[in-house]
Structure 1
Amino acid sequence: MIGKLKGSIDEIGEDHVTVDVHGVGYVAYCGARTLAAIGGAGEAVVLFIETVVREDMIRLYGFATAAERDWFRLLQTVQGVGAKVALAVVGTLPPGDLANAVALQDKAMVARAPGVGPKVAARIVAELKDRAPAFSGPGAEESFGLKRDIGGGTASAPVADAVSALTNLGYSRDQAATAVAAALKEAGEDAGSTALIRLGLKALSR
């Protein structure tokens, strides 16, 4: 199995890149974000690879980071999600945004990916809500847990009120949840909504 390619870009197509590694060209299928970030022909490139082997083909999928590859794998554990849909999602949402979408049960954010309808997006956020914390990044599990409570409607009243207040001020749900998570860490579990809003605004202004 191929896990990583390090070489130079030979050619970039609409949905793939050919990487020249010591004279051998490897075709790796990539999402839009990866293709936009890797540069042009002749430039050095490193891709993290997921090798998919089937009866009728062997296909390489390339990613700019190991985290994107991990999400690609995780997404395919969802019923009805294959490599094409998983690549579209990872190619549209960075790992952090995807983790937030799952935590907040924000199916609309996932549905931004081309070819991903509302039903598939809803299934993704629902089925991954208990498995995604490990993919939310180092040191982010505490924030993820709070966001999951917010998305699941089980957050405390002060937390829910603070998030609602910040979204009413024009911040996105993700921004509001991140700010309130930081505020809660600073103020403590018993903080009221007023303190959380104040500290949340302070965090958002940094």
Structure 2
Amino acid sequence: MKVRALAVPGSFEFTPQTHEDHRGVFVSPMQQTPFVEAVGHRFEVAQTNHSRSARGVLRGVHFTATPPGQAKYVHCPHGRVLDVVVDLRVGSPAFGTWDAVELDPISFRAVYLPVGVGHTFLALEDDSIVSYLASTEYAAERELGVNPLDPQLALPWPKGTEFCLSERDRTAVSLEEAMRSGILPRH
């Protein structure tokens, strides 16, 4: 397993070794030992999530109220997505910093997002599937978001993309509005 620290402190990219033969491919996108060596603690899974998106679907920037917050381990077993992590932790030296990783079923890269870090992705192909391991269970009242098209974030979306957003994401507050309202996690 190759591990790369991302620009957002505490976030990592994991690239597992794939085993291919005439039958197909076998891969382990999440492995506890290299995860613990990189991150410094075990990943406790409370829930798994799965989404399927058409090309152009933009989901996020989502984060969970802290405490308790939610850490995520994300990979794409089908299709292709541009996955972006955003440091939303007020007081973090990297506040507002983002990093992007292309996830696909060729490299089987995965991304780990610690508590307080925002998550967004753009489906680059039809039927793109994103699979999440989450450290806490879903609770609608704790789910928050920042607009993924906020110019202050300047996220790396491909030019000319026709985005498809949920009403929740389309009307999400800007980063500045989220700061003023006090909904962002603290570092």
TM superposition score normalised by structure 1: 0.23
Structure whose residues are more often helix by fraction: 1
The structure whose RCO (Cα within 8 Å, separation 6+) is larger is 2
